[in-house]
Amino acid sequence: MGLTAKRWARRAGVVAALGALAVLLSACSDFSLRNAVPPDAASVQGQASRNIYDIVFVIGAAVFFLVEGLILFAVVHYRRRAGDDELPPQIHGNNRLEIIWTAIPIAIVLALFVLSWQTLNTVDARTPTPPVRIGVVAYQWQWEFVYAPEGVAWQDCGAPVNKGKCVTVFGTLPAGGDRSNWTPPTMHVPVNETVELQLHSTDVIHSFYVPAFLFQRDITPRKDQVIQFTADRIGIYRGQCTQFCGLYHQFMEFQVQVESKVDYVAWLQQELTPPPAPSAAPSPSGPAGSPAASSAP
């Protein structure tokens, strides 16, 4: 009686597990292995992050399969068989084994520490004379990208003496929240040149994130962040604020257009020719009510 109940319970368990697996697989019909790994890096710094990701992934996978394989082997090979009525010999302590399984994880952790340190140095490396400097102003709920000429700080672009010298890309909210005819603000940068971003928030914490650069940095009010990157693949890359920053946070998208130096200079020149932007100063005033077109030039 007890045995039959146990068997039924086991069968019910198997059916439930198969059902759960079917539900799980049906939910993953869009699953592709491509989505399970980070995107191809489009910057030198992103490639460094990607390299260490790959190394950690390979080590993690090797450890997983080794440990799971040994567990399965032990469970199957040393399972209790008919007639096994006594415990197998009980062993306590094995110095050689214990040294090995302590030393290997320590070696892995130390190697990863050194590699992470090197990667961090690559990602955070800064040159004192970046060829391109951009002021990035984040506010509820858009972005402004301010290009100031050599010798002018982006914060001073609003001064009358600098009129016509700066280029400002103003982000606008999609009218009525409708994205169909809306383009997020675009940051133009030349390929293979170091670009410095001076990240500034005028209100709450935002976050600068471009998935293709495998990079994210919070922008905290009253504490500007300076980052540098070198995009090495021409293309247009999506960006998004990734700190929930209020009602229209989801509209804080932007694009980074990586183009040839010639195209970049041509774009800058075209933007510098009149008619100039109505105001080059950051205008953090978002719309009061619903998302609507704001101060686009």
Q: Which is nearer to Cu ion, 189 or 219 (CB)?
A: 219
User: In terms of CB distance, is 197 or 252 closer to Cu ion?
Assistant: 252
Q: How far is the CB of 195 from Cu ion (least distance, A)?
A: 21
Q: Which of residues 227-246 bind Cu ion (CB under 5 A)?
A: 241, 245
Euclidean distance between CA atoms 260 and 297, whole angstroms: 25
Look up residue 141 and give its DSSP letter.
T
Q: Which amino acid is residue 25, in one-letter code? A: L
Q: Which helix (H) or strand (E) holds 200?
A: strand 194-201
- Nearest distance from C-beta of residue 248 to Cu ion, angstroms: 9
Tokens encoding 39: 């995107």
Beta strands in 115-193 (DSSP E): 132-139, 142-147, 167-170, 186-190
Q: Give the residue with the Cβ less far from Cu ion, 148 or 241.
A: 241
Handedness of CA 126, 188, 249, 35 (dihedral sign): negative
Whose Cβ is closer to Cu ion: residue 188's or residue 206's?
Answer: 206
252 binds Cu ion (CB under 5 A): yes
> How is residue 222 annotated by DSSP?
T
For 245, the token pair is 């920053």
Give the residue, chosen from 134, 189, 206, 237, that forms a contact with Cu ion under the rule CB under 5 A: 206
Contact residues for 226 (Cβ-Cβ < 8 A; gap 6+) = 126, 196, 197, 198, 199
Min dist CB 184 to Cu ion, Å, is 13
Residue 273 CB, shortest distance to Cu ion, in Å, is: 32
Contact flag: residue 280 with Cu ion (CB under 5 A): no
Return d(Cα 224, Cα 89) in angstroms, integer. 65
The residues in 86-145 that bind Cu ion, with binding defined as CB under 5 A, are: none
- Candidate ranges 82-90, 115-123, 199-207, 278-286; the one touching Cu ion (CB under 5 A): 199-207
Q: How far is the CB of 45 from Cu ion (least distance, A)?
A: 22
CA distance 161 to 157: 9
Contact flag: residue 219 with Cu ion (CB under 5 A): no
Q: Is 225 exposed, middle or buried (0-12, 13-18, 19+ CB in 10 A)?
A: middle
Q: From the CB of 204, what's the least distance to Cu ion, in Å?
A: 7
Binding site for Cu ion (CB under 5 A): 206, 241, 245, 252
